[in-house]
Amino acid sequence: IVSGGEDNPSWNIISKLFNLSKKEFVYDDFSCSLWNKIVVPGHLYCMENHICFYAEMMGTETSSASIFIHTKIITQVIIAMSDIEELNKKNSLGFIKNAIEIVCKNKKSYYFTGFGDREGVFDLISGIWKGGASKPKTAENLNKHVISHLDLCLITKIATTTTAISSSGKVTDESSAAA
């Protein structure tokens, strides 16, 4: 749990991950999965004005010359609280009570699953959305957990490695780091 502000290192990381310009209070983050056509495991960040999801997955592409390229697939979702029309408790596989659906005013729906405490997450998001969530007094104590998690996300986003294996067996690595 972190608060916004230019002096706060975790806010700087969040603003880089999601390109958010407004500095806002971050209530908490949760491990979960975004369920679209596939299940994408990642983290959901509950903020004052946004719900954000971030995930990274490794993938392999094969070109016509039998070259295998390992790529990183990044999934980002940014939902403004003002865009939310409905918030629903859902069941994964029809009976596991661990999912939340967020329906936006444009009728786009986001289905997040795998919450260890769906009720707590739902109550937090609902409270923020309805304007009734209060900022916890323990922000300083929990700040280190969120900073270390966000540092890991930012490091993996900035440093990327591409490995190509040609049909002759030659391996090439290209590493790049954004400034």
Give yes or no for residue 112 having a pLDDT over 80: yes
Q: Residue ranges of the alpha helices (H) in the chain?
A: 9-18, 118-130, 139-158
Tell me, what's the pLDDT at 53?
A: 95
| Residue 120 pLDDT class (50, 70, 90 cuts) | very high
Q: Which long-range contacts (CB under 8 A, 24 or more apart) does 51-56 make?
A: 51/77, 51/78, 51/79, 51/81, 51/84, 51/102, 51/125, 52/14, 52/17, 52/18, 52/20, 52/76, 52/77, 52/78, 52/79, 53/77, 53/110, 53/112, 54/17, 54/18, 54/153, 56/153, 56/156, 56/157
Whether the predicted pLDDT of 169 surpasses 60: no
Confidence of residue 132 (pLDDT cuts 50, 70, 90): low
Per-residue pLDDT, 102 = 97
Predicted confidence (pLDDT) at residue 59 exceeds the cutoff of 90: no
pLDDT tens digits along 20-43? 865 677 888 899 999 988 899 999
At 22 the pLDDT is: 59
The answer on pLDDT for 62 being more than 60 is yes
**Residue 82 CA to chain centroid, in angstroms?**
19
CA-CA-CA-CA torsion sign (77, 127, 87, 91)? positive
Please tell me which residue, 16 or 150, carries the higher pLDDT value: 16
pLDDT at 138: 44
Which of 31-35, 54-58, 110-114, 133-137 is predicted with the least confidence, judged by mean pLDDT? 133-137
Q: Are 109 and 103 in contact (CB under 8 A)?
A: yes
pLDDT over 90 percentage in the chain: 37
The pLDDT, as a whole number, for residue 131 is 83
Radius of gyration (Cα) for the chain, nearest Å?
A: 19
Least confident of 53-57, 82-86, 145-149, 172-176: 172-176
Tell me which H or E stretch contains 71. Answer: strand 68-80
Q: Number of helices (H) and strands (E) in the chain: give both, helices first.
A: 3, 9
Judged against a pLDDT cut of 70, whether residue 125 lies above it is answered with: yes
Indicate if the pLDDT at residue 128 is higher than 80. yes
- The model carries a pTM of 0.68
